[in-house]
Structure formats: structure tokens, C-alpha cells
Amino acid sequence: MTAAIVATEVSRTYDLDGVSVPALRGVSLTIEPTDYVAIVGTSGSGKSTLMHLLGGLDRPTGGTLLIGGRDVAGLNPGEMAKLRNETIGFVFQSFHLLARTTARDNVALPLVYRGVGRRERRARATEMLERVGLSHRLDHRPNQMSGGEQQRVAIARALVTGPSVLLADEPTGNLDSATGQSVLALLESLNSEGVAVVLVTHDREVAARADRQIVMKDGVII
């Protein structure tokens, strides 16, 4: 079975006012298809930069990054976007839902970029919302839902394309503890069904629920 993501000696340097600032320095990491991994570190440790690379939102300055077996160095922007759409699902702390759009249409949005017809988009979005326990919220807008429900909509949106990896950036950061626990339980359930989960967090209790913890400091894995 091919690894979902393989980073080998990956570095990322940013040019700030003519000064090179290293954010990652020779990081090697493999995400297998069944992994449940937590990336932990304080602010500035490099964990968010690493997540952006693993999700194909950015490219490394050095080293090799394979996503779904493909070397991102050789992909043009269109190919990169297609690879992201096919391989990675993203869940963010602030949900990033369209405010005036129903839960079903928010979830269906990634399928628009695949050219999926409207009827099939709505059917698949409905199925995903049922999967995360929101069959009663299909036509509700974000302002009509709780924070936990909005995060479940965001998870359904991330899953609707059938990704092999779910990247979650502080997915419980804007939730109360009880709601956060239910969201983590959902992620764990999805992982047991074969979706690799990579969780970025500064919360050690959240990280402790993962099968593997990767601790970062000053742009390296410690």
C-alpha cells in the first residue's frame, strides 16, 4: 500500500524584507493511509507550515514531498489544485463556511470543481451530512447552527471528495470542551473507517488521543 504522504528532508524558507527565515529545516515524515497523527508545538514551531506543505497548499524550498505518490515539485498550479481536490480534505479552526449558503450546498462546493452535476452533488452532500449526524440540518445556514454543528459541516465538506487524508488545523479550538470531545470522536470514527487523520494542535490532551504524536520546535521534529 502506497504511503499517503512522504516528506523527505523537507525545508521551507521565507524571504522577509531580504532576510531568509527558515520555517522548516530538514523535516522527514511519512503519513500512512490508516494513520491518526497529531502534530504538536508552540506558536512558531513550524507545525502550521508543515501542515500547509502536507496539504499541498505550499511547496518546499528543499527536499522531496510526495502526495499520493506524486512529487509536487513537478506539478503546475492546475495539477496541484487537482491533486489537493482528489487527495486531501481540510478542516479549519474557524470552519470557513459560506455564511449565506445552506449546509448541503457548503458541503457540495468541492464537487463543483470536479465538474459533478448538481443532482449528484446534492445527493453526495446529503449522504455526508447524514454520516456526521446532521441529516436534520441540510437546509440550515451556518448562523442557524451551533459551533459543533458548523464544524461537523466542515468535516462533511472535507470528506465529500473521498480524500485519503484529512488535515485538521486546531479543529476543537473554537469549541467548548464537550463539543470538542464529540468532534474528536467523529474524527476517530472516520479514521477507523480508513481515512488518515493529521491533527495540528497545541493542546496536549487533544494530541494524546492520536496514535502517534510528532512534536515540533524551531522548524524541526524533536
Q: What is the mean pLDDT of the chain?
A: 93
* String of DSSP letters for 71-107: EGGG--HHHHHHHHHHHEEEEETT----TTS-HHHHH
Q: For 41-54, what is the mean pLDDT? A: 92
Grid coordinates given for 38: 497529531
Distance (Å, rounded) from C-alpha 132 to C-alpha 85?
20
Residue 181 has pLDDT above 80, yes or no: yes
* CA-angle at 190, arms to 200 and 84, nearest 5°: 60
How many percent of the chain have pLDDT more than 90?
82
Q: Which domains does the chain have, with CATH numbers?
A: 5-221 (3.40.50.300)
| pLDDT at res. 2 | 85
> What amino acid is encoded at 67 in this protein?
I
The reported pTM is 0.90
